[in-house]
Homo-oligomer: A and B are copies of this chain.
Amino acid sequence: MANMEMIFLGTSSAAPTSERGLSSIAIMRNGELLLFDAGEGMQRNFIKASLGMNRKMKVFVTHMHADHCVGLLGLLQTMSLQGRERRLDIYGQPRLKEFLLENMRIINFGLTFEVAIHTIEREGTVVEESDYKVSCCEAKHSIPTFSYRLDEFDRPGAFNVEIVKQMGIPEGKLYTSLQKGQDIEYKGTRIKSSEVVGHPRPGRKIGISGDTRPTDKLAKFFSGCDLLVFESTYSQDKYEKALETLHCTATEAATLAKQAGVKKLFLTHFSARYDETSSLVKEASIIHPNVEAAEDMKRIDVPYPSL
């Protein structure tokens, strides 16, 4: 079983405050780090959280506003100073590639590692590994923006070794077949996989909105997520402001989360006017039963969903 922890590295919108840095969310999963956005200065909390500069790591950038991507430059610099050797994979809009290549040309980072920049051409799967994938969906903001979703693949059900041993079945190929869901025959007896293997155990599903207005498309995209981190720049009394700047209110974030059937909603990307976010959580909680506000350096253990 893979450990999974989500760490908020920055939770302020647009400009940093004394309590909140610019957008960045880290998901540490089984020793690999998945980073969503890298606002200016995020390396400071990255270092503080001891996430490690030479770790297997992928970065996904939602859009090319300065408060979501500028932090990559300092991160590349510090990783190089610390002698990172592993390749770093970065995914995002075509402009992200231009941004990184131009800055790598102009500033001498003294890179000690390969930076692989992947331009996302269309919605759908961005990365697929053996046990998880990350996919994207177009959000609705003032410039092209992707929302992301991390899906762990379902794991096979638990294999009841005790029962299989009692049946006298020898370890090896027959075990593997049963575990894979195939029925077998042993000494003239047909044994169904379902007799010795439990139900498949679902993987964890996490959604990350980036900056956006709420849309039906996003509600569908985030359908069934265990955790959804959604931008909540304003409270509902600033609805006009949210419309104008193409952001969301806490009420809108909660409405979308409910529509998508997500289990838990984290609000983030708060306007600097909110020193204190309990009013936003209160507003969202009228609509969704499980709402929490993100805070810089808050760490969340992500459990497997219960069966």
Residue numbers of A with Cβ under 8 A of B are 14-18, 21-22, 40-41, 43-44, 47-48, 64-67, 69-71, 73-74, 76-78, 81-82, 95, 98-99, 102-103, 106-109, 143
Contacts and interface: CB of A to CB of B under 8 A. Distances in A.
A71 B21 CA distance: 13
By secondary structure, the A interface counts as helix
A56 to B, nearest CB: 21
A44 B21 CA distance: 8
A47 B22 CA distance: 14
Contact of A16 (B43, B65, B66, B103): B43
Q: Which 10 A-B pairs have the closest CB atoms?
A: A41-B41, A40-B74, A66-B77, A15-B78, A102-B102, A16-B44, A99-B106, A70-B73, A66-B107, A14-B81
Given A66-B77, A73-B70, A99 B95 contact: no
Contacts of A109: 66
Contacts of A76: 66
Contact of A143 (B16, B48, B108, B143): B108
